[in-house]
Amino acid sequence: MRAHKEKIIVVVGPTASGKSELAVFLAKKLHGEIISADSRQIYRGLSIGSGKVPGRWKRGFFIYKGVPHHMVDRADPRRVFTANDFQTEAKIALRAIRARNNVPIIAGGTGFYINALVYGLTLPHVPPNWPLRKQLEKKTPARLFTMLRKVDPRRAKTIDRRNPHRLIRALEIVRATGRRIANITRKHPYDTLMIGIMAPQKSLEKKIAHRLHTRMKSGMIREVRRLRARGISHARLRALGLEYGFCSRYLEGAISKKELQKTLQRAIVNYAKRQMTWFAKNPEIVWVSAGTAGTARAVRLSQAFLAPDKKRGIH
């Protein structure tokens, strides 16, 4: 039965590991189109801080290096774009890609988005509970994490404990459904090749530091100021996490510019570790090294996976 399922390729890994470039390389080799699975690149106006590829819109597609990208610049940052929203819209994009006889390549570091699509999770449609959110927003991330650990300990092991938005959303779902997110039903609607990029920790930390320095020089703080001018609240910026949360704190005067870069760099490194913890638990991921050799192996794996009438194997 597995052979009759639609084939999709997924590229995962921690932030700064090179997922976007590997996905683009594979798309060019395989006549593919990319579905971005990034919980911040989905929003319009979040470009520098989210590391959004510098593409442009052409005939209804977001194009980068000649490759169409879906699920980029889709949502207004004023509203929350949930994993349920992502699953629904990504399925539409996936069907459109297959209708053009191209290969769907899902690429990103938001593990729950990826699992929602790849495993067809039956996600509860839980609308925002504004009174509950208002109550929970008064609590610190540490307190929210403690609350989540009591009601859904498995989800607490994988969530970003410093991101109040995700903590509140997880608590909101449990409150509304009485079900733990970790116990949501999984399916396997697709025949999936999952490729993970593994970079040495020291090398990854250097890339994170260099990338952050570049983003600061490119106007990351100005980008957050523009978001504020558009009416995005400091609370919403903090909910968007990392670059946006720390820049928000800087603009509020809570930290200095020097503290901003130092603490943000440390937070991104810790986030990358949490991403690896999440992905490392998935035995279906085939890991390749960052760099030329890993890229070549990813191409071989993908070509073997897509080849018709051939016995697939992992080499």
Which parts of the chain fold into alpha helices (H)? 19-30, 83-99, 111-118, 130-136, 141-151, 153-158, 164-177, 201-218, 220-229, 234-240, 242-251, 257-280, 292-306
The bridge status of strand 285-289 relative to strand 32-36 is unpaired
16 is in an annotated binding site: yes
Long-range contacts of 157-162 (CB under 8 A, 24+ apart): 157/277, 158/111, 158/112, 158/274, 158/277, 158/278, 158/281, 160/241, 160/271, 160/274, 162/241, 162/267
Query: Domain boundaries in the chain?
Result: 2-123+184-306, 125-183
Tokens of 53: 């590829």
55 is in an annotated binding site: no
If one counts every other C-beta atom within 10 angstroms of the C-beta of residue 285, the result is 18
pLDDT in tens, the chain (315 residues): 445 789 999 999 999 999 999 999 999 999 999 999 999 999 999 999 999 999 999 888 899 999 999 999 999 999 989 888 999 999 999 999 999 999 999 999 999 899 999 998 877 778 778 889 889 988 988 999 999 999 988 778 777 787 787 788 889 988 888 766 655 667 889 999 999 999 999 999 999 999 999 999 999 999 999 999 999 999 899 889 899 999 999 999 999 999 999 999 999 999 999 899 889 989 999 999 999 999 999 999 999 999 974 444 433
Task: Check for a shared fold between 2-123+184-306 and 125-183.
Answer: no
Place of tokens 């470039």: 21
Report pTM: 0.86
CATH superfamily ID and name for 2-123+184-306? P-loop containing nucleotide triphosphate hydrolases (3.40.50.300)
Whole-Å CA distances, 13 to 10, 209, 233, 271:
10, 17, 30, 12
23 is in an annotated binding site: no
19 is in an annotated binding site: yes
Place of tokens 């449990």: 174
Q: Would you state the CATH architecture of domain 125-183?
A: Orthogonal Bundle (1.10)
d(CA 197, CA 14): 8
Torsion of CA 187, 30, 70, 164, to 10 degrees: 60
Contact of 224 with 251, CB cutoff 8 Å: yes
Place of tokens 């968007």: 240
104 is in an annotated binding site: no
109 is in an annotated binding site: no
Q: Which amino acid is at 215?
A: R
d(CA 302, CA 17): 19
Residue 10 neighbours by CB under 8 Å, 6+ apart: 105, 106, 107, 114, 118, 192, 193, 194, 195
Positive or negative CA dihedral for 288, 291, 293, 298? positive
Q: Which has the closest alpha carbon to 88: 121, 129, 43? A: 121
134 is in an annotated binding site: no
294 is in an annotated binding site: no
**Burial category of 192 from C-beta neighbours within 10 Å (exposed 0-12, middle 13-18, buried 19 and up):** buried
Per-residue pLDDT tens digits for 185-240: 678 899 999 999 999 999 999 999 999 999 999 999 999 999 999 999 998 998 89
Per the prediction, the chain carries an average pLDDT of 90
Contact of 268 with 242, CB cutoff 8 Å: yes
Whole-Å CA distances, 169 to 59, 104, 163, 176:
35, 29, 10, 10
